[in-house]
Structure 1
Amino acid sequence: MEIKWLKSFVTAVECGNFRLAAEKLYISQPSITVHIHQLEESLQISLYERNHTQLTLTDEGQYYYYLAKDILKKIEDSKRKLSLYSVQKRTLLKVAISPILVETNLPNILFQFTLRNPNFEIQIIVEDSKYMDEIILKDEVNLAIGIGTSKQTIIHSEKLCSSPMQLIYPKGQDSSTSKRLIQLEDLFERYPLFTGHLDEAVSFEAQLELHFPTMRKMNISQSYIVKQFVKDGLGMAFLPNFIVYQEAKNGLYNIFHFDRFLLPTIDLYIRHIKENEKITPLLETIRNSYNSIK
């Protein structure tokens, strides 16, 4: 059974004769006759009674008219829905981000991208930077953003920014230049130092212990918990500037301009196997966003 047979039959019934049906469908009248005959053979039932030049719908023909009309409507509906689906179909991008980036502006960058590009859908996966190569190679994510470069030659690493380390401590402590040395000693006497949330901080902990022998440490693995504890007045911590500057600006904690010795910088990288049409729009958005805040 072909759609054109159904169209010829339904149109012939609605027009009342084959000639008008042929004109409406822009085909020849013999074509209408052939289509209806083929439809009858397919159904193995007569749709018309034929008395010389007179054609009258049989009871079966009258009943089948409504069925055929419904079939054509469903076909058109399915074509419309498929077309709509094709237009609205979204490209799913899986993005891994380091836990340290959860409370930065990165989630908002990703959110704003989806608003401007409704054909994209983003799934965020929070993963430690040291496991990002593994999930990229397993094709579990399209790209990953975290601290440090990839150790795999097949994975492309692109630096987004370098951020100095900052010492943050609770509000209410004097941070004036004239009292800086005294205050630094006082801070290490007053507060424990949160550690364990950033591998890069391990490199200078020994130096800190030489300068501040009475230093107390408290190991906390998640940076967002560290920041909250500092806000609550429970301790202090070294964190990259890019994850603390906004909250410090908003007065949620203080930044001490540590200059006892040179602190390391933290490099933020975006990693992916290769750039392609699927991820290029998002890559460009992330690059532009970080370029604007450098």
Structure 2
Amino acid sequence: MNINCLKKFITAAETENFRQASEVLYITQPAVTKHIHRLEDELDIQLFERTGKSVKLTQAGLFFLPRAKEIIDSFDRNMEDFNAWKQGYTQKLSIACAPQIASSFLPPLLHRFISQFPHIDVHVDIAKSYDIGEKVSSGIVDIGLARTPSAYKNTTSLIVYEEPVVLTGPIVKMADEAFLLANYRLLTNNHPGYWEALLKELKKESPHIKTMTVSQIEVTKRFIEAGLGVSYLPKSMVQEELLAGKLSIYPSAAAKKQMSITYLIEKVVTDEAKLFKHFLLQHDEKESSILNKKGKAD
């Protein structure tokens, strides 16, 4: 059975319009019609009822549609496995990861992991922390790395990494927390874990703080560099900017009460996931030791 014909059939069935299907598929309408006719000839049954420009599935088409989708899904999965085998992979690990984690400690961790286990085909799906529990729960990915625990009962959430939160702002000589909060907007909600508690704490001392919601840490840092505000960010997320002299961190009693937490979310633990978890916990121990040494030095 021709896979291309099946794909054209599924798109035509979902749009119920051959012209719209042709636009989705980036081919001509006659080409869509030709593929549908070829499939109907092969199955020896009519799949669409045609009335003028509109089409709708026959009973046979309705019956065949979910089975066509199963065939395509199976074909895609098997081709993915075959292509992975051609590249030398014999195992697979899929990880859903929050953007902040993916741009901080995950790259060096993955580099070490892949170097030691080159036969494992690693797939990384960047997703919001709130969505990662669902991806693990439904089996879309093997494990998740998120800033919030999973809400799904068939998953577990293990704290694997904790790091300090720091008050980050533009470089201002002799500035302290009170000065920064009085003269700059506070850029909030760029981390799903600590902002509710942090704002409550800050407003006890400064009830009239001006805030601006900025949902991404990378954008928050650019805003701070431009003098638009200050924020409380995980320390690992500002290391490059500190070294480059683009930003500065300031002592903060409120920040000391908060931590940026990374959760490992699991459901069914595969052999590959066990290996990665071991690497992750080792990384946590090393990073904690480094942060403790830096904290004493500071």
TM-score range, shorter chain: 0.5 to 0.7
Residue number in structure 2 paired with 1:168: 168
Residue in structure 1 matching 2:211, options 208, 213, 217: 217
Residue number in structure 2 paired with 1:194: 187
Contact 1:143 1:271 in 2 (8 A): yes
Kindly report which structure 2 residues correspond to 1:20-59, keeping only aligned pairs within 5 A, or say none: none
Question: Residues 250 and 290 (structure 1 numbering): CA distance in 2 closer, same or farther, change over 3 Å?
Answer: farther
Kindly report which structure 2 residues correspond to 1:37-186, keeping only aligned pairs within 5 A, or say none: 85=85, 88-175=88-175, 183-186=176-179
Q: Deviations over 1:229-288 (max 9, x none)?
A: 223332110122333345435533111120258632232111111323122222212221
Residue number in structure 2 paired with 1:34: none
Q: Partners in 2 of 1:244 and 1:292 — Cα distance?
A: 19
Kindly report which structure 2 residues correspond to 1:231-270, keeping only aligned pairs within 5 A, or say none: 231-245=225-239, 247-259=241-253, 263-270=257-264
| Max Rg structure | 1
1:86: Cα distance to partner? Answer: 7.6
Question: Residues 128 and 209 (structure 1 numbering): CA distance in 2 closer, same or farther, change over 3 Å?
Answer: same
Q: Partners in 1 of 2:281 and 2:254 — Cα distance?
A: 34
Which consecutive aligned stretches of 4+ in structure 1 deviate over 4 angstroms post-superposition? none
* AA matched with 2:154: I
Q: Deviations over 1:187-243 (max 9, x none)?
A: 123211101212321223133234224421111111221122223332110122333
Q: Partners in 2 of 1:87 and 1:196 — Cα distance?
A: 42
1:140: Cα distance to partner? Answer: 1.0
Residue number in structure 2 paired with 1:9: none
Q: Partners in 2 of 1:261 and 1:159 — Cα distance?
A: 20
Q: Partners in 2 of 1:171 and 1:223 — Cα distance?
A: 18
* AA matched with 1:283: K
Q: Partners in 2 of 1:224 and 1:90 — Cα distance?
A: 36
Q: Partners in 2 of 1:151 and 1:270 — Cα distance?
A: 13
The runs of 5 or more residues in structure 2 that have no matched partner are: 1-81, 289-298
Contact 2:162 2:262 in 1 (8 A): yes
The runs of 5 or more residues in structure 1 that have no matched partner are: 1-81, 176-182
For 1:279, what is the secondary structure of its paired residue? helix
Q: Partners in 1 of 2:111 and 2:169 — Cα distance?
A: 30
Q: Partners in 2 of 1:186 and 1:87 — Cα distance?
A: 57
TM-align CA RMSD: 2.6
Contact 2:223 2:229 in 1 (8 A): yes
1:138: Cα distance to partner? Answer: 1.4
For 1:286, what is the secondary structure of its paired residue? helix
Contact 2:188 2:213 in 1 (8 A): yes
Q: Partners in 2 of 1:119 and 1:139 — Cα distance?
A: 22
* AA matched with 1:239: L
Question: Residues 185 and 139 (structure 1 numbering): CA distance in 2 closer, same or farther, change over 3 Å?
Answer: same
1:292: Cα distance to partner? Answer: 0.6
Aligned residues: 205
Per the normalisation by structure 1, the TM-score is 0.62
Contact 1:156 1:274 in 2 (8 A): no
Q: Partners in 1 of 2:86 and 2:206 — Cα distance?
A: 64
Residue number in structure 2 paired with 1:276: 270
